[in-house]
């Protein structure tokens, strides 16, 4: 209880003065650094359209660093293995239960690993699909049909999955959508302007929702 209280105080002190996001660096060999142009492009779009004031160059933070509590939202992506040590899992749980928010974007190949590792964080919780009426789809931009499809992998429908802690959505996982591909510079994936705008709008909604909640 004492440890949780300390983390809560630390988070509140940081959060009250922060409107920043960071990329989450993890162990396991997966490419946590994938899609390098994605977050800068999303930040520029979000600052312009929802009047946020996020630094244009996002930081990188690891789970062995109390600095994670400076960020209301952290972003995780990649194609391969993700590994959380026991200490990492505890830190992530403390961060999320203290008011933090994690956005996971499956860049293809991440799914089986992130599901396994999130069980270390919340052993008794499972990802659940969010209804299309959830507020995350109805911020500045409206997505009445839920998560948009951005990049094709296995011809599966996109799913917006979540983990809740004490009634609050603390993790949003875009599965079979690959939002961050749509945030990248146009020439990287040759997505159409329409697809890229949808991806950026949904990303802005996620940031807006995380900052409010």
Cβ partners under 8 Å of residue 124, min gap 6: none
Residue 83, pLDDT score: 97
Instruction: Spell out a b/e string for 183-211, using b for 16 or more CB atoms within 10 Å of the CB, else e.
Output: bbeeeebebeeebbebbbbbbbbbbbbbb
Residue 18, pLDDT score: 59
Residue recorded with tokens 């890229």 = 196
Q: What is the CATH number of the domain that holds 8?
A: 3.40.50.12140
CA–CA–CA angle 21, 75, 60 (5° rounding): 65
In 10 A of CB 167, how many CB atoms? 5
Residue 113 CB-density burial (10 A; 0-12 exposed, 13-18 middle, 19+ buried): buried
| Domains identified in the chain, total number | 1
Residue 17, pLDDT score: 40
More confident residue, 154 or 148: 148
Structural domain range at position 118? 2-212
Question: Which structure tokens are listed for 132?
Answer: 């299309």
Residue 16, pLDDT score: 43
């Amino acid at each position: 209880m004492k440890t949780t209280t300390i983390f809560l105080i630390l988070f509140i002190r940081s959060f009250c003065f922060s409107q920043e996001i960071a990329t989450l660096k993890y162990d396991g060999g997966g490419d946590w650094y994938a899609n390098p142009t994605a977050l800068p492009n999303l930040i520029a779009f979000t600052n312009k359209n929802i009047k946020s004031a996020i630094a244009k160059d996002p930081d990188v933070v690891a789970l062995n660093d109390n600095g994670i509590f400076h960020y209301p939202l952290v972003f995780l992506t990649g194609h391969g293995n993700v590994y959380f040590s026991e200490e990492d899992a505890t830190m992530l749980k403390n961060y999320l239960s203290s008011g933090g928010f994690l956005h996971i974007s499956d860049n293809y190949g991440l799914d089986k690993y992130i599901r396994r590792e999130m069980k270390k964080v919340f052993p008794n919780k499972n990802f659940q699909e969010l209804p299309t009426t959830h507020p995350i789809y109805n911020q500045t931009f409206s997505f009445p049909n839920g998560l948009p499809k951005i990049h094709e992998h296995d011809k599966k429908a996109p799913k917006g999955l979540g983990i809740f802690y004490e009634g609050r959505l603390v993790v949003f996982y875009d599965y079979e959508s690959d939002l961050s591909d749509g945030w990248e510079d146009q020439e990287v994936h040759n997505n159409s302007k329409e697809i890229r705008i949808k991806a950026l709008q949904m990303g802005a909604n996620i940031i807006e929702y995380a900052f409010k909640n």
